[in-house]
Amino acid sequence: MGFLGFSKQRWFLITAGYMFFLLALSLKPAISSGEPSYIREMFHNLLHVPAYATLTFFCFCFLGRGKNKVKESFGVFTFSFLYGAFMEILQGFVPGRNPSLYDLALNAAGILLVIFLLKKRIITIHEKNSY
């Protein structure tokens, strides 16, 4: 059993479902109200950090923790970062949306936050194999 007593299959479904949720949010056309709302845009951009932190956490829950933590962390970082990059590229095809390197940097910040918290043992995923 994995984290919270969930099996790997259940964590896979949770992770895949969350990825689909991010896909749906990322590909939703922007609604223009005529006036730019900088506060709303800034809040929307800052949501990238917890969104990709959550994705990273779910990936670690699905994959588990083995002996080679650096390799696993690099793999999860690469997967989550490339997924975010793919979402940014797809946004270029959505009306009113544009790909953004700033959003990609915020995605990376969320990913690195979870890796840091695991490394410092502020959060753990498995009792036997904590980071």
Mean pLDDT, contiguous 10-residue spans, the chain (131 residues): 76 95 90 68 88 95 78 93 96 89 96 93 64 41
DSSP states of 87-117:
HHHHHTTSTT----HHHHHHHHHHHHHHHHH
The pLDDT, as a whole number, for residue 88 is 94
Euclidean distance between the first and final Cα of the chain, in Å? 17
Alpha-carbon gap, residue 85 to 40, rounded angstroms:
22
The pTM (predicted TM-score) of the whole model is 0.86
| Domain definitions of the chain by residue range | 3-27+38-119
* CA atoms of 13 and 7, how far apart (whole Å): 10
Model pLDDT, residue 130: 43
Q: How much is the pLDDT for 18?
A: 97
pLDDT on residue 129: 45
